[in-house]
Homo-oligomer: A and B are copies of this chain.
């Protein structure tokens, strides 16, 4: 029996319900900017050694929460666990990005692709359960997966890419092959997120990191349609509660109206978007997550506080009543490895201190 939540502010904001202040967490909050993360990473020997060990994953997931009064934890893992379980052979060479030994380069490889047995991802679900126990109800735990499109980019390119030449050539020349990959990815991601929910994830997020490289039209057909399919397959938690669905498309500003119709409860937005305008575009009942420029963390404390105030004011009053929108404060992208931890403390404090006036309906 898990402990009751001491702080459910994040979950209420996700569902556009009233909160006393604006909850905050940071994408990649358990990461290289923290010396204690780097120490654990060194002990684990490799990134995959860290990600595949429930004990290590629990340790690093909790590290930022010991430093900062964040309102949510997020599973420490990687979006590429799913294609790795499909047999594509993931590795992380030191100082480089991820690489697949067996990328999908021809029709035969695509034909062989299957939804993986979730037993191969057991280490992820064990980590979720372990983190829930360690959190002991302090804050909610977010589970996550890559979007079907973003996974397909890596699966076809075999690594990160500047121009997405291979996957886009497939998109334009052989859309049937890409649709097959995406359909399998959507089914796999849905099973993966449902298993995380079974293990205790209290919200789930889809990282559509590369949706923004698609042309208008292609985004809707090759990325959003499959994110929507995943959302349609997600289950409620063991108590029958809706587990909030979050989607973050970097560069997704042009398509907020369409994303709002995907079944998401929360739309993550990058820092090019004005949150007040975004609220008008997505309509009531959809929460927004974001969107401080991650580079603001390189600035001094006064500047960070000023920029936080600007994001809060841009969103405006979030009373959660009468069809308003919730606001979850975050960066507009993952935190930089070069961000000073003390700047994160300034950010979190500023959000908590400056946001209550925007939640007047509860006072």
Q: A254-B273, A272-B251, A273-B254 are in contact. Are A295 and B216 (CB under 8 A)?
A: no
Chain B interface: which of A124-132, A144-152, A236-244, A297-305?
Answer: A297-305
Cα distance A253–B272 in the bound complex, in angstroms: 9
Task: Please name the residue on chain B nearest to A256 by beta carbon.
Answer: B254
B299→A173 contact, CB < 8 A: yes
Chain B interface: which of A49-57, A61-69, A160-168?
Answer: A160-168
* CB of A274 closer than 8 Å to a CB of B: yes
A295→B164 contact, CB < 8 A: yes
Across the interface, which residues of B come within 8 angstroms of A218, CB to CB? 293
* CB of A47 closer than 8 Å to a CB of B: no
B271→A169 contact, CB < 8 A: no
B212→A298 contact, CB < 8 A: no
A217→B300 contact, CB < 8 A: no
Give A contacts to B, CB under 8 Å: 163-165, 168-169, 172-173, 212, 214-219, 251, 253-255, 271-274, 291-296, 298-300, 303-304, 307, 310, 314, 332, 336, 338
5 more contacts with CB within 8 A, not counting A165-B295, A254-B254, are: A163-B295, A172-B303, A215-B296, A251-B251, A251-B272
Of the A-B pairs whose beta carbons lie under 8 Å apart in the complex, a sample of 21, sorted by A's number, is: A163-B295, A163-B336, A165-B298, A165-B336, A165-B338, A168-B295, A168-B299, A169-B298, A169-B299, A173-B303, A215-B271, A215-B272, A215-B291, A215-B296, A216-B271, A216-B274, A216-B314, A217-B314, A253-B253, A254-B273, A254-B274
